[in-house]
Structure 1
Amino acid sequence: MKRLIATMLFTAGAFAAGAQERPVVTARLEPDSVFIGDLFDYVIEVEKDLVQVVEFPEFRNAGEGLELVASLPVDTLEREGRSMKLRKRYRMAAFEEGRFNLGTGQVLYADKNIIDTLYTADSLLLRVGTFQIDSTSQSIYDLKMQKTMPFRFAEIRSYVLWGLALLAVLLVGLYGVVRYLRQKGKGLGSLFKPAPPLPPHVEAIKALETLHNQKLWQNSRYKAYYSALSDILRNYIVRRWGIGALEMTSDEIIAAMRGIELPDKARMDLGSLLRDADLVKFAKAEPDPEQNENDYLKCYYFVEETKPEVDPSEGQKPNTEYKIED
């Protein structure tokens, strides 16, 4: 007898568990009537058991004239025992006039081996209105042109006053400079005198240092290297002795320099350097690294040994210290 009663109770419990009610789904629009461009909420609510699983839909394309603005998180409204109530809001906007049937609300339901879609009982209707214009009482006009306002001096008064003040300050400063120069016996043009040219030997040494840093022969640019080296030497001769070396051949330069007093070594280095430059420029010779360095030093020491001496009575000493970079 006890076994029969236990079997009946077990069967009744299993039947009650199998007959568990499905979730209840409701949906509504808040509000259900809007104007074009207004926002409204599509609300879906579900009442379900704690162990039941539901999944709310995702709106990728809300429909023509409608647009999903935001999908808000799921809210838990109530929870009592095993029962709970969930709510999901979809914020949407309407951009066309008319009546829209949004269909029934739905959620995906999963319980044990059951997967189903649950629907609401009624469809949702949305009314989108627009502003009505009575053309009989309201006239429609063309766009008006921009009105041209008269010019008023007050609009630029502050700019003019500041400009005049700045001009006055500049004039006062210029008057002070002119007066100071007159007291020193100088004119205004003394402020804009160009810098005096460098002495020939200083200019040549600077040009040689620049050429050394370019590393032309190290990159197999022998012709460019010797052309620059001979040009530096020719320019130095032009400025130092007034000989037109830029338009002369190497032999003409050597002949013109015979009447000038030079150290023997400097005269030999001049001839050797000019001949080496001609071989590279016209015969496409490719000197070895030792010869390239030697010709550079020949040009450097030719300038050093022939630079003009400064009279000590002038209070200046010749600048004879130059650095040769290795």
Structure 2
Amino acid sequence: MKSRILAFILLLSSSAFAQLSFKAEVDTNQIKLGEPIQLELSAKVPKAAEYTWPLFESGQNGIEIIESGKLDSLIEGDWIQLHQTFTLTSFDSGEVEIPALELSVENEEVQRSSPIAILVYFPEIKAEQDYFDIKAPREIPFNYWLLVYWGLGAAGLAALIYYLWKFWQKRKNQDEKQVEEIQIPPIEWALEELNKLEARGLWQNGKAKAYFSELDEILKIFLERKFGLKALESTAEELIVKIKPLCKEDRHFNNLKNSLRLSAMVKFARQQSLPEENVQALEAVRDFVNSQEAPKLEADV
């Protein structure tokens, strides 16, 4: 009886720890004018839930963004750990504030971080520090060997520029010739590349990582050519957010979302995919590409 009660308590404890969370933290609350400060955003959201990551813009409340890190994600069971780092600063002396940020999660209450006050102060100036006059410029004796070195350097630079110009002209002519010969629309190109990938049988020969890497690259290049998105440098979670408005049906979005997350797990050696999952991942991309084809209109009678 005691063992059952203990097991029940442990089950409740584990459920209590696995819950939605969101927080914002800084590495210090006092900085000198223009000195960098690190803002860490972290959250835990259900794996199957849709969420909207908070947007933090430069210039809010006197806070300037120096660098925005990528949104990293890590799947742990039924949850996704999210993390993003910002490098901030301020050029306003006194107290500035990082505003409260909001994380929206499907079927859950909006998660809000607490505002963070930052004290910005001027660097300390020592009154007793000595000051010195500016020294007059020193005369440097003329060196005739410099003329020789400069002449040889100029000749070498001219030769290099001429070589690069000839190489560029040759490459430009080749590229223009290829463009004239081949003009494949994005949809036709993507479908052709998917057929080639499928025919190569990479995952059937134990090359699942290479299979998913090429599948991701085909999808990203298609998104850049078709919609002008910056997809090649995007993570799986960032790409999921970008493609949602482009999906005409929920099934296309859900299938692509599962494909991208499975691809990330396989490429980073965190999970081995099943044969049917490999097939479904490629079909998800193919269905999405086909869905972007404009419907053909019947000719007027």
What range is the shorter-chain TM-score in? 0.3 to 0.5
Tell me the TM-score normalised to structure 1 length: 0.35
Greater share of residues in strand: 1
Tell me the TM-score normalised to structure 2 length: 0.38
